[in-house]
Amino acid sequence: MTQNKKVLKFVDDSVKLCKPDNVVWIDGSEKQLDELRAQAEKSGEMIKLNEKLLPGCYLHRTAVNDVARVEGRTFICSRKEKDAGPTNNWWNPKEAYSKLYSILDGAMQGRTMYVIPFSMGAVGSPFAKVGIEITDSIYVVLNMHIMTRIGQRVLDSLGNSNDFVRGLHSKVKLEEENRYICHFPEDNTIISVNSGYGGNVLLGKKCFALRIASYQGKNEGWMAEHMLILGVQNPEGDIKYIAAAFPSACGKTNLAMLIPPKVYSDKGYKVWCVGDDIAWIRKGKDGRLYAINPENGFFGVAPGTNEKSNPNALASTRKNTIFTNVVHNLENNTVWWEGLDKNPPKNAVDWKGNKWDASKGEKGAHPNSRFTAPAVNCPCLSSEFENPNGVPLSAIIFGGRRAKTAPLVYQSKDWNNGVFVGSIMASETTAAASGAVGVVRHDPMAMLPFCGYNMADYFKHWIKIGKTIDEDKRPKIFNTNWFRTDEKGDFIWPGFGDNMRVLDWILKRCEGRVDAVETPIGYVPKTEDINLEGLTNFKKEDLEKILNVDKQTWQEEAKEIEEFYQNKFKDTLPKELYDELDKLKENLK
């Protein structure tokens, strides 16, 4: 399929190491994909679902010990430890290669090796980057087909170039104690062993499009961010684009596919989805920042997705979708998950593959169960989705899951203050990564698990990018928090589609069409400027509560931030951020 000597050598070396019985190059043809689907069905790796109700859809269950990203076993293997920085696990590349090669030695005996050429970004786009993923999993091939652009056309666009990411994945024996997700940024290489779960094995996603790409972006003058991208169309037909970084399972897919409440849709407002997880951002010819979504599908959280919370996501999963670790409804051979509706199937199998009785109180779907759905299925997919030059950003939002402290929304004072706001993000952990859930941790720019190099240098890169853009062309930077709770622990803000009310304020601020209240942390809306029309059960007093910036709480937060800065980064942190922290402390006096 290619004459590219570097690609051929990478495949050759991998064959010698892993010793598969066969090698299959993925050309991207429907015929080949159909054969693989049939094989996976025959072996039980995938269950074909009801062709009438869910055409082209399959169900897959991972091993019970293999259901989320494993941050503790994810490594940045830069030559120097300081280049991985204080927030990453570092592993000396020599030792890492040696360990990984010993695990991979003969690992594909009795199996077929698949070679997947894939492109992150529309093939041929100036943003696009090519990868070759080698894997022994059909599930990975079929997911990569949905999540990226694959096949012959990618090799054609690569030509003889050496500028491609080498990804090597093997399930090996799915042993937890030998599971490693390793990145070698200086070698453009990713090696993943002993896992079969999405974020660990779909190497185009977090491993390449964030960890390797963030490193490439630093060297090449662009940014790879954990951000959704959406367009808000106003009644005049103008569309303004916003990118937003929220940590895993904190609402990116939901915001990206938002359906405006009636008060807005009646006037003609629409929201278009460009991406739900990753943004590659670079300066365009007109001096503004442009973003593309490098992916081609959605790897979304299933639980909680329903006709009310996110009808566009649900619609996206009605055909050609792979479901992972959800409930198998045997009544009609479809799928179910908690929060889909109030009628769990009577005759069903849970995510572990056991007969499941909802009335016993145990969850049927894993909290991190997912759907892999093609972007083209999404009813609100932006017409700019394939635009090779991306969309211009008016605003950038950072946000987390905070029961207290962070207000519903606030605006930073300028670019560097906005970088500070991103750097001090903290959020409660979720089921997207293995480990405790609900613990508040610092997660700068929602990139803590995804930055492929020293995070202090990453902050410097953000500041530097700001300097390259004229002030009037810089996106304005905001922070949001949909997750403030009341005394009973219930969410105060209705969220989901009603987040449109906050986006509206944000865009008005970008256009200088609305005033704000200055607080120690930044600009907060006047209560009368958040449109509450049509909201029942939500009063102006509730809004006051979640817009409130409590001085004492923020003094404690500032102390926390200082400790985080000092403990992690000491004097490696850019001075600009310490200056911003000083200003915050001063404002809080």
Positions marked catalytic? 250
Q: Look up tokens 């005759």; give the residue.
A: 347
| Binding status of residue 547 toward ligand GTP by CB under 6 A | no
C-alpha dihedral, 541 to 547 to 553 to 555, nearest 10°: -140
Alpha helices (H) in 249-400, listed in sequence order: 252-256, 262-265, 311-316
Look at residue 479 and give the partner it binds from ligand GTP, ligand SPV, Mn ion, none, a contact being a CB closer than 5 to 8 Å depending on partner kind.
Answer: none
CA distance linking residue 457 with residue 479, whole number of Å: 22
Interaction of residue 133 with Mn ion, rule CB under 5 A: no
Cα 78 from Cα 56, distance rounded (Å): 41
Strand-pairing partners, residue 457, are none
Contact flag: residue 198 with ligand SPV (CB under 6 A): yes
Q: Cβ neighbours of residue 400 under 8 Å, at least 6 residues apart?
A: 246, 247, 250, 406, 425, 426, 427, 428, 443, 446, 481, 483
As a whole number of angstroms, the distance between CA 433 and CA 64 comes to: 14
182 in contact with ligand GTP (CB under 6 A): no
The neighbour count for residue 585, using CB atoms within 10 Å, is: 16
Residue 242 contacts residue 481 (beta carbons within 8 Å): no
Nearer to Mn ion, 276 or 338 (CB): 276
Of 211, 212, 192, 213, nearest in space to 202 by CA: 192
Minimum distance, C-beta of residue 126 to ligand GTP, in the bound complex (Å): 26
Smallest separation (angstroms) from Mn ion to the CB of 542: 29
Q: Are 150 and 204 in contact (CB under 8 A)?
A: no
Q: Tell me how far, at minimum, the Cβ of 20 lies from ligand GTP, in Å.
A: 32
Q: Residues 394-433: x/- map of binding to ligand GTP (CB under 6 A)?
A: --------------------------------------x-
Q: How far is the CB of 422 from ligand GTP (least distance, A)?
A: 16
**Using N-to-C axis directions, what is the helix angle for 455-467 and 213-220, rounded to 10°?**
40
Where do runs of H (alpha helix) occur along 352-442? 415-423
Distance CA 254, CA 503 (A): 13
Closest separation in Å from C-beta 96 to ligand SPV? 21
Q: Which stretch binds ligand GTP (CB under 6 A): 186-194, 353-361, 490-498, 553-561?
A: 490-498
Least distance from C-beta 61 to ligand SPV, angstroms? 16
Q: Which one of residues 205, 211, 328, 461 is an interface residue with ligand SPV (CB under 6 A)?
A: 205
When binding is defined by CB under 6 A, the residue of 10, 240, 499, 558 that contacts ligand GTP is 499
> In 3D, which of 35, 175, 87 has the Cα closest to residue 457?
87
Pick from ligand GTP, Mn ion, ligand SPV, none: which does 420 bind, CB < 5 to 8 A by kind?
none
Beta carbon of residue 210, minimum distance to ligand SPV (angstroms, whole number): 9
Minimum gap (Å) between residue 570 Cβ and ligand SPV: 29
Query: Binding of ligand SPV at residue 149 (CB under 6 A)?
Result: no
* Interaction between residue 254 and ligand GTP (CB under 6 A): yes
Residue among 64, 156, 491, 579 that touches ligand GTP (CB under 6 A): 491
Binding range to Mn ion, per CB under 5 A, among 83-91, 168-176, 245-253, 440-448: 245-253
Among the residue ranges 116-124, 163-171, 244-252, 499-507, the one whose residues contact Mn ion (CB under 5 A): 244-252
**Contacted entry of Mn ion, ligand GTP, ligand SPV, none for residue 205, CB cut-off 5 to 8 Å set by kind:** ligand SPV
Which does residue 496 touch among ligand GTP, ligand SPV, Mn ion, none (CB within 5 to 8 A, set by kind)?
Answer: ligand GTP
Strand pairing class (391-399; 239-245): parallel
Binds ligand GTP by CB under 6 A, chosen from 86, 304, 311, 520: 304
Residues 266-295 that bind ligand GTP (CB under 6 A): 276-277
What are the C-alpha distances in Å from 185 to residues 166, 211, 371, 454, 531? 10, 8, 29, 12, 46
Residue 246 as a binder of ligand GTP (CB under 6 A): the answer is yes
d(Cα 91, Cα 81) in Å, to the nearest integer? 8
Query: 380-439: which residues touch ligand SPV (CB under 6 A)?
Result: 432
Q: Does 143 bind ligand GTP (CB under 6 A)?
A: no
By CB under 6 A, tell whether 250 contacts ligand GTP: yes
Nearer to ligand SPV, 216 or 427 (CB): 427
Q: Is 443 in the site for Mn ion (CB under 5 A)?
A: no
Which residue of this chain has its Cβ atom nearest to ligand GTP in the complex? 495
The continuous run of DSSP H or E covering 395 comes out as: strand 391-399
Rounded to whole angstroms, the Cα distance separating 521 from 410 reads 8
Quickly count: other Cβ atoms within 10 Å of residue 586's Cβ: 9
Instruction: For the CB of residue 248, give the shortest distance to Mn ion in the complex, in Å.
Output: 5
396-402-404 Cα angle (round to 5): 120
**Can residue 277 be called a binding residue for Mn ion (CB under 5 A)?**
yes
Is residue 350 a contact residue for Mn ion (CB under 5 A)? no
Contact map string, positions 274 to 303, toward ligand SPV, x by CB under 6 A: ---x---------------------x----
CA-to-CA distance for 305 and 96, rounded, in angstroms? 39
Q: Pull the structure tokens for residue 255.
A: 């915001």
Q: DSSP strand E in 248-321: where? A: 270-275, 279-283, 289-292, 297-301
- What is the H or E stretch that residue 31 is in? helix 30-43
Number of residues this chain uses to bind ligand SPV (CB under 6 A): 9
Is 249 an interacting residue with respect to ligand GTP (CB under 6 A)?
Answer: yes
CB of 173 to ligand SPV, least distance (A): 21
The continuous run of DSSP H or E covering 479 comes out as strand 476-480
Q: Which of 91, 482, 505, 565 binds ligand GTP (CB under 6 A)?
A: 482
**Interacting residues with Mn ion (CB under 5 A):** 248, 277
**Interacting residues with ligand GTP (CB under 6 A):** 246, 248-254, 276-277, 300-301, 303-304, 309, 432, 482-483, 491, 495-496, 499
**Interacting residues with ligand SPV (CB under 6 A):** 69, 198-199, 205-206, 248, 277, 299, 432
